[in-house]
Structure 1
Amino acid sequence: MHDTIRNQIEQDGYAVLEEFLHPAECDDMLQAGLEFTKNIPGKEERIIFTTVDTVKNSQLKDDYFLKSNENISYFFEDAAIGADGELTVDPSLSLNKVGHALHLQHPIFRCYTYCDRVQQVCRELAFKDPAVVQSMYIYKNPGVGGEVTPHQDITYLHTDPVPPIGFWIALEDATIQNGCLWVVPGSHKSGVHRRLIRNPDKSSKDLLIYDRPAPIYPSSSFIPLPVSKGTCILLHGNVVHRSAHNKSDKSRHAYTFHVVERDNNKYSEDNWLQEGEKAPFVNMYKTRQIV
């Protein structure tokens, strides 16, 4: 990891860091991810997360999503919940993700989020006051792991002038078959295409709205990024990326978090996620791995 990381992100919008974590370190997080599935919310509290069907996209209408900024919250796969609210799959396969304060509130994820390797990357990216603002454990389970439609992370976490950086860590091998990331190289140079913001119309039932329709990206622009367990993919906040439905028989668990620069950089007040009392935006270099 040298200055080539910064150069590659500036040129392509992403960088692939192989063997970022050891297999045993990935296994620590995999075990923690499986533990979440043993204590899932009851039928009446199951919130579906999907980027495809906005009619079912209940996180836009439910303050559960907004409150997840400072909690460890559970989001289910659309295909895992029947019309009656009951699970259609085993609980171990039902979750889409868990977020968004794992980096501060869960000992295992806190340990790896604030490890020296992450700090070193932030230094090589020239961050002066980096802060983790959200974290997610993503399951992408076999058969039910849903598609993540093309998007830019800055759509959801807008900062100006310095964009956020995503750390996406493969906890299992990510292949084309089980839903690896696909990116559009160089797309980070094309500006901010769309934003999700807090609805200024306080009388509306929609707490969050998009400021414009979803862009259409040619499929031919994307390239796949299959990676092995322990690899970290760094994502420029403006780079367009997606992942496909997992139609294979193998899961594709990952841990991801986003770092923003706080020095001379504005974090938008209308972003869905805001600093919480139980999950403040703390300096990466000064935060202890263990509390």
Structure 2
Amino acid sequence: MTTTTDTRASLVTPEMLEQYRTEGYFVLPGVLGEEELELLRSGAQFSIDKLDAAMDEAGVDRIGINARGKRYFSNFIYHDRPELRRFLFGDTMADICRAVLGDSAYLFWEQYVIKAGDPDTSFAWHQDSGYVHEDHEPYLTCWIALDDVTEENGSVYLLPYSRSGIRSYIKHVADPVTNDQVCYFGSDPGMPVTAPAGSIVCFSSVVIHRSGANTTDRMRRVYLAQYSSEVIPAKGSTEPQGSFERFLDGGEVVAE
């Protein structure tokens, strides 16, 4: 679907962009309507079932950073559920990408991040870039709350640039038990971001962040969409890492 540039007023204000530049993040509270939320929620259980089936086949309860019945990081669900493309390449994400990345943007990564009610669902301090490699421009993470997010159910905690002093990729080490990539071992607990369902937390891939455990009896569901201004090659390769479907060209949506 090729469309012309959206002429609506941007969701992203100049003040938000300045905060992104100086601190690495901004929050769009409650910007998604019920229709968009239900579209994204529709793929959540499918993403869990897909990983559970993979664990069944392998005869294990952990695959990578996934733990059965606890936490799930299920990526590229939009390949199985193409209706999600309406959101990934729709007006809301085009608006955010134009504001942050400019007139050229690619979809880099997509995944559901789901935590069941279990104390073993926290996620360690990391940069999203720490799961890629050191040789790329920082990209944009859109952390989309599908449920009301609280500290009790596993909110994200950020270390803004002014608190971490870090604005670029730093080395990560793997946790031998959880397989999490970890880059910070200090005492700062981070800034909790609590937000209602339909909110989007936008932050740079070099912002250090973590998430707490879900100590409630309900799922905490997040949809993650990441976009870059360039094609990032896989480490040691000329082949792209991730999805890299062209989204914006000259400010116009060109994704099919």
TM-score bracket, shorter-length normalisation = 0.7 to 0.9
How much has 1:252 moved relative to structure 2? Answer: 0.9
- Kindly indicate whether the alpha-carbon contact (under 8 Å) linking 2:117 and 2:215 is maintained by their aligned counterparts in 1: yes
Using the TM superposition, give the Cα deviation of residue 246 of structure 1 relative to its aligned residue in structure 2, in angstroms: 1.1
Determine if contact 2:89/2:255 at 8 Å carries over to the other structure: yes
Structure 1: which 5+ residue stretches go unaligned?
A: 50-57, 60-74, 81-92, 197-208
Q: 1:284 aligns with which of 236, 239, 247?
A: 247
2: CA distance, partners of 1:175 / 1:226: 5
Calculate percent identity across the aligned residue pairs.
Answer: 19
Counterpart for residue 197 of structure 2? 229
Structure 2 unpaired stretches of 5+: 1-11, 174-178, 249-253
Q: TM-score, normalised by structure 1?
A: 0.69
Matched, 1:191 2:168: yes
CA distance in structure 2 between the partners assigned to 1:144 and 1:221 by the alignment: 17
Deviation at 1:152, TM superposition (A): 0.5
Which residue of structure 1 aligns with residue 28 of structure 2?
Answer: 17
Q: Which residue of 1 aligns with 2:111?
A: 136
Deviation at 1:126, TM superposition (A): 3.9
Q: How many Å apart are 1:21 and its aligned residue?
A: 1.1
Query: Offset of 1:104 from its aligned partner?
Result: 4.7
Q: 1:188, 1:238 within 8 Å by CA — same for their partners in 2?
A: no
Q: TM-score, normalised by structure 2?
A: 0.77
Matches within 5 A, 1:4-153: 4-38=15-49, 40-41=52-53, 43-45=56-58, 59=64, 76-77=66-67, 80=68, 93=69, 96-99=72-75, 101-143=76-118, 146-153=121-128
What do residues 109-129 of structure 1 show as CA deviations (whole Å, max 9, x unaligned)?
221111111111111114232
Conservation of the 8 A alpha-carbon contact between 1:29 and 1:108 = no
* Counterparts in 2 of 1:159 and 1:166: CA distance versus 1, 3 Å: farther
Structure with the higher fraction of residues in strand conformation: 2
CA drift at 1:103: 4.1
Question: How far apart are the structure 2 equivalents of 1:170 and 1:247?
Answer: 17
1:237–1:142 Cα change, 3 Å: same
SS in 2 for 1:246: coil
1:45 aligned partner, one-letter code? A
